[in-house]
Amino acid sequence: MKLKAEDLAGMETRARAAFVNCLSGFKSANLVGTRNAEGKTNLAIMSSTVHLGSHPPLLGLVVRPGGDERHTLRNILETGVYSLNHVHSDFIAAAHQTAARYPSETSEFDEAGLTPTWEDGFAAPLVLEAKVRLGMELREHMPLEVNNTHLVIGEVVLAEVPEGSQRSDGSLDLVAAGSVALSGLDAYHEGVELKRMAYAKPGMPPRQI
Amino acid sequence: MKLKAEDLAGMETRARAAFVNCLSGFKSANLVGTRNAEGKTNLAIMSSTVHLGSHPPLLGLVVRPGGDERHTLRNILETGVYSLNHVHSDFIAAAHQTAARYPSETSEFDEAGLTPTWEDGFAAPLVLEAKVRLGMELREHMPLEVNNTHLVIGEVVLAEVPEGSQRSDGSLDLVAAGSVALSGLDAYHEGVELKRMAYAKPGMPPRQI
């Protein structure tokens, strides 16, 4: 099936959102934990985390204006910190529920039944139920004028991962950690490892690790 | 296991790259197809595609300077177009091989054994072996000064997806399409769907579709 720009523009709004959200491929599923200057916590599921670099360890997060994500962005800009918490297969429904547009008086932690946990010296809540939890410090905020979204760039200042999930080469076994992958707006998947590939070099055929 | 900023800074370079690349969670695996002004084609695997919006349909791509990705960025800026092609389970090894730092005289299509295919009126090569193929037009290029990476923002002007992979709500079944998910630098996974969740609303418990 082949769709051109005019076909995409002509799709019904919800169908287009469902379709276009699938086009990038599988996505991460992270709960973004924040609190505002008064200490009110907020939690929002997002699939737009992107790796920017490992030294310093930087991750980007695309945040749309409006809805719950507006609270998230405001809180990040107010406090300079946020957490990223992997969604795992045992709390998909609770994580997804944080996408509901709750009024600012309520905390999505309470509404979704997830538990805030705190680290000394870090002002944003992390998610107790998550096995991979990151404490992030805001490094740069760039409004993207092309469609009024915002790119939030943060540095990983704290990483909590399950004991035994780190391989000898430093990498993390996300299958063992039970992290899930999102596709589109609502489909949650576990990963089944097919292959690990050795570092690619010219003149050398591809090799599995 | 808990790592702080100083622990991450103290890791051996390769181990840190392997570790930090896993922290965002599962990632998309896309082959980025370009050609330069002279018509020379280039193909590079990247895991940094991020959804920006569906109307207009915009995707971001984080490109690092150096290595093969330098050719990709230069070609995108020269021609204004590029393709994104999902990696599927049947050509993981070939796709991974495009990460090797080939000299600019060679094309990764030839080196990896993948086949360029062309669409009328679109100046970048797509990958014949991919079942989900996107033609992208450059909309914005933002250097990210924080670590000298580049954010390339493009609009989807062409989307080719397998017949029968689109569900009635508009979404795409990436499991049926055979798209794979990356974790870290080298681990490729197939997805197994666990749950699809209905649109979340305050006052309504989470429901599966």
Instruction: Please name the amino acid found at residue A6.
Output: E
Report the chain A residue with the minimal C-alpha distance to residue B131. A1
Residue A165 maps to a domain: yes
- Other Cβ atoms less than 10 A from the Cβ of A120: the count is 4
Residue B85 maps to a domain: yes
B113: left (phi over 0), alpha (psi -120 to 50) or beta: left
B69: chain A residues, CB-CB within 8 Å: none
At residue B98, does pLDDT exceed 70?
yes
Kindly report the backbone phi and psi dihedral angles of residue A176, in degrees, each rounded to the nearest multiple of 5, phi listed first.
Answer: -60, -35
Residue A69 maps to a domain: yes
Instruction: Name, in order, each residue with C-beta under 8 angstroms of A75's C-beta and a sequence gap of 6 or more.
Output: A34, A35, A36, A42, A82, A124
Q: Do B17 and A140 touch (CB under 8 A)?
A: no
Tell me, rounded to whole angstroms, the distance of Cα A154 from its chain centroid.
Answer: 12
Q: Do B30 and A24 touch (CB under 8 A)?
A: yes
Q: What gap in Å lies between CA A29 and CA A166, rounded to an integer?
A: 20
- Other Cβ atoms less than 10 A from the Cβ of A97: the count is 25
To probe the interface with B, which of A1, A20, A64, A114 has the most B CB atoms within 10 Å? A20
What's the rounded mean pLDDT across residues B106-112? 94
Residue B205 confidence class, pLDDT cut points 50, 70, 90 = very high
Q: What gap in Å lies between CA B9 and CA B96, rounded to an integer?
A: 28
Least confident of A62-66, B68-72, B173-177: B68-72
**What 3 state SS string does chain A have?**
CEEEHHHHHHCCHHHHHHHHHHHCCCEECEEEEEECCCCCEEEEEECCEEEEEECCEEEEEEECCCCHHHHHHHHHHHHCEEEEEECEHHHHHHHHHCCCCCCCCCCHHHHHCCCEEEECCEEEEEECCCCCEEEEEEEEEEEECCCCEEEEEEEEEEEECCCCCECCCCCECHHHHCEEEEECCCEEEEEEEEEEECCCCCCCCCCEC
Name residues 42-81 of chain A within 8 A of B (Cβ). Answer: 47-60, 62, 64
**Burial letters for A172-207: b for 16+ Cβ neighbours within 10 Å, e otherwise?**
bbbbebbbbbbbbbbbbbbbeeebbbeebeeeeebe
Q: What is the predicted pLDDT for the residue at A64?
A: 87
Is residue B120 helix, strand or coil? Answer: coil
Q: How many domains does chain B have?
A: 1
Query: Using one digit for the tens of pLDDT, what is the confidence trace for A119-147?
Result: 999 999 999 999 999 999 999 999 999 99
Alpha carbon of A38: minimum distance to chain B alpha carbons (Å): 23
Q: Which residues, listed in sequence order, are joined to residue A86 by a DSSP beta bridge?
A: A30
What's the rounded mean pLDDT across residues A168-174? 97
To probe the interface with B, which of A183, A190, A192, A193 has the most B CB atoms within 10 Å? A183
What's the first-to-final CA gap in chain A, in angstroms?
Answer: 36
Q: What gap in Å lies between CA B124 and CA A58, rounded to an integer?
A: 30
Residue B199 maps to a domain: no
Is residue B24 helix, strand or coil? Answer: coil
Report the chain B residue with the minimal C-alpha distance to residue A29. B25
Report the chain A residue with the minimal C-alpha distance to residue B22. A172
Residue B196 maps to a domain: no
Q: Is B90 on the interface with A (CB under 8 A)?
A: no
Q: Is A190 on the interface with B (CB under 8 A)?
A: yes
Q: Is A111 on the interface with B (CB under 8 A)?
A: yes
What's the rounded mean pLDDT across residues B152-167? 96
Is residue B135 helix, strand or coil? Answer: strand
- Please give the ipTM for the structure prediction: 0.96
Residue A154, judged by CB atoms within 10 A of its CB (0-12, 13-18, 19+), counts as: buried
Alpha carbon of A177: minimum distance to chain B alpha carbons (Å): 10
**Burial letters for A128-141: b for 16+ Cβ neighbours within 10 Å, e otherwise?**
ebbbbbbbbbbbbe
Query: Using one digit for the tens of pLDDT, what is the confidence trace for A1-21?
Result: 999 999 999 999 999 999 999
**CATH number assigned to the domain comprising residue B182:** 2.30.110.10
Instruction: Name, in order, each residue with C-beta under 8 angstroms of B109's C-beta and a sequence gap of 6 or more.
Output: B41, B43, B115, B116, B125, B127
Q: Do B62 and A52 touch (CB under 8 A)?
A: yes
Name residues 7-36 of chain B within 8 A of A (Cβ). Answer: 8-9, 11-30
Question: Which of B134, B180, B202 is opposite residue A101, by nearest beta carbon?
Answer: B202
Q: Is A110 on the interface with B (CB under 8 A)?
A: no
Q: Which residues, listed in sequence order, are joined to residue B59 by a DSSP beta bridge?
A: B51, B154
Q: Is B209 on the interface with A (CB under 8 A)?
A: yes
Query: Using one digit for the tens of pLDDT, what is the confidence trace for B50-91?
Result: 999 999 999 999 998 765 568 999 999 999 999 999 999 999
Q: What is the predicted pLDDT for the residue at A103?
A: 87
Least confident of A60-69, B83-92, B198-207: A60-69
Its domain, for residue B28, covers 13-190
Instruction: Please name the amino acid found at residue A93.
Output: A
Q: What is the predicted pLDDT for the residue at A68?
A: 59
Q: Do B8 and A159 touch (CB under 8 A)?
A: yes
Q: Which residues, listed in sequence order, are joined to residue A85 by a DSSP beta bridge?
A: A31, A133
At residue A67, does pLDDT exceed 80?
no
Q: What is the predicted pLDDT for the residue at B61?
A: 98
At residue A69, does pLDDT exceed 70?
no
Residue A115 maps to a domain: yes
Residue B192 DSSP class: E
Mean of the per-residue pLDDT values of chain B: 95
Residue B197 maps to a domain: no
Q: Do A146 and B153 touch (CB under 8 A)?
A: yes
Residue A77 maps to a domain: yes
Q: What is the predicted pLDDT for the residue at A104?
A: 81
For every residue of B164-178, DSSP letters joined together read T-B-TTS-B-HHHHT
Interface A:B, Cβ pairs < 8 A: 382
Contacts 24+ apart (CB under 8 A), A90-93: A90/A129, A90/A178, A91/A129, A92/A180, A92/A188, A92/B194, A92/B195, A92/B197, A93/B195, A93/B197, A93/B206, A93/B208
